[in-house]
Chains A and B, each alone.
Chain A
């Protein structure tokens, strides 16, 4: 599904990631962890084509990202739901319009998605807040709205970068339960987080693998977590 082969990424300052090989199989659940600044977000961006590797190969759905045109990348992002750390919205549109945005930009009519949208809002517990503006939402509500937006296209893969970064423990548990549910529906999930207790709490519910970035390389962390 997403495959990295000897991937390296350098900023002008120097190499951030090197010799990374990784394969996300369909239906798998992965955590990506590591200290701040270790390159978690960069690795996530490599996984949805926002960055191109400076060495090695990234294959998304069996296509090398270097061979993708800008439109191909757009097309690809309809199959990859991304939850950003600072979940960005269009601040002048309501929550429900923001969540439905991927449908509009891909030319699907919003009427057909009306019922799905209702279900989705209910699922993330934002039914009451559907007409609010993003600025009026709390941190947890923003994260749930971002998750809803990421899954409305029914993507094959969900990439979440610090989805629990700005929310309390209870809310992060709730978000995680939503992600676990998605994984049970067969979606591939990759979550970047530095919160080890969150990882531990999750492992009780789902078979999750933990990838750790250390010294610019990626290691499969054992069961010791």
Chain B
């Protein structure tokens, strides 16, 4: 019983003599190495993009979904009363874990980027903000809006869904595109190896004829080519992956935790191990592609 793993093992078994049977082909060999390296390099970035946008989608989806803001825009003499009324409503609303009015200092900090430090809030009709943290079940935003409208005329509920949804959607789409890019990179690698293998097989038609004449089985001939292209793809991809990882390590990092998307590009934690899968995958793709090319070519010969 010969399993597929056994076949792969036999195909890659080092056999100096068998490797010598196919003449070395300097330039095309280097092209294969280079192409595999370039593809692995791109794959590292596609992977980083996918993982980063995945993280982003998840964070935005989770954090924003559980928070909402109520804005109390009322004349300054009624503001405190309306804020208290809103807080009372929130206390009796299902699905709300915590509700808290922001202090003047906090609101000043929020406005500082736009108006500069030392802003005198009291001089401005700035609405009061209430931060609402939902429980995991979530709240009934429409119901809450109705109650607020009835009792606190100056309150406006913003559950962030209006701008959250397209962002989460964009991040998810970006992640999908990243995976599609990885898939395309694998497909291009397969196409490239197939072309290179076909060229090698065509260039060595006479050699194949001689080998068949002296009693070589198709497997023997195919393996001489498969080994070569698999190893080229493996080493090329390993070099490309290493360069890609180095490039990712040296990407500039953003400071604060709400880091923008660009500075968040990269790997985190165990995700650093994922690119290590690229060389073996490239080798597997090359193995399959060469195997199919060799099988097709050999079956056309006598």
A binds B: yes
Interface residues of chain A, those whose CB is within 8 Å of chain B, are 45, 50-51, 70-71, 74-78, 82, 84, 88-93, 97, 101-102, 104-106, 110, 149, 153
Q: Assess whether B213 is in contact with A78, with CB atoms less than 8 Å apart.
A: no
Q: Assess whether A74 is in contact with B212, with CB atoms less than 8 Å apart.
A: yes
Q: Assess whether B210 is in contact with A82, with CB atoms less than 8 Å apart.
A: no
Given contacts A104-B17, A110-B17, contact A74 B217 (CB under 8 A): yes
Looking at the assembled complex, report how far the CB atom of B302 sits from the nearest CB atom of chain A, in whole angstroms: 5
Given contacts A74-B217, A78-B215, contact A90 B210 (CB under 8 A): yes
State in angstroms the CA–CA spacing of A82 and B214 once bound together.
8
Q: Which residues of B contact A92 (CB under 8 A)?
A: 23-24
A-B pairs, 9 with minimum CB distance: A105-B216, A77-B215, A78-B215, A102-B214, A92-B23, A74-B217, A88-B210, A50-B302, A104-B17
Looking at the complex, which one of B17, B24, B210, B298 makes contact with A89 (CB distance below 8 Å)? Answer: B210
Looking at the complex, which one of A45, A93, A110, A153 makes contact with B215 (CB distance below 8 Å)? Answer: A153
Q: Which residues of B contact A90 (CB under 8 A)?
A: 21, 23, 207, 210
Report the interface size class on chain B.
Answer: 20 to 34
**Contact string against A for B residues 210-248, beta-carbon threshold 8 Å, 1 for contact and 0 otherwise:** 111111111110000000000000000000000000000
B20 touches A (CB below 8 Å) = yes
Q: Which residues of A contact B206 (CB under 8 A)?
A: 88
Looking at the complex, which one of A70, A77, A106 makes contact with B213 (CB distance below 8 Å)? Answer: A77
B299 touches A (CB below 8 Å) = yes
Q: Which residues of A contact B219 (CB under 8 A)?
A: 71
State in angstroms the CA–CA spacing of A124 and B298 once bound together.
33
Q: Which residues of A contact B213 (CB under 8 A)?
A: 77, 82, 84, 88
Looking at the complex, which one of A51, A70, A149 makes contact with B217 (CB distance below 8 Å)? Answer: A70
Q: Which residues of A contact B20 (CB under 8 A)?
A: 93, 97
Q: Which residues of B contact A76 (CB under 8 A)?
A: 215
Interface residues of B in 66-83 (CB under 8 A from A): none
Looking at the assembled complex, report how far the CB atom of A162 sits from the nearest CB atom of chain B, in whole angstroms: 15
Looking at the assembled complex, report how far the CB atom of B235 sits from the nearest CB atom of chain A, in whole angstroms: 22
Looking at the complex, which one of B18, B209, B210, B298 makes contact with A104 (CB distance below 8 Å)? Answer: B18
Looking at the assembled complex, report how far the CB atom of B18 sits from the nearest CB atom of chain A, in whole angstroms: 7
Looking at the assembled complex, report how far the CB atom of A61 sits from the nearest CB atom of chain B, in whole angstroms: 14
Give the residue name and chain of the A residue nearest to B301 (CB).
A70
Q: Which residues of B contact A75 (CB under 8 A)?
A: 215, 217
Give the residue name and chain of the A residue nearest to B214 (CB).
A102
Q: Which residues of B contact A88 (CB under 8 A)?
A: 206, 209-210, 213
Q: Assess whether B17 is in contact with A149, with CB atoms less than 8 Å apart.
A: no
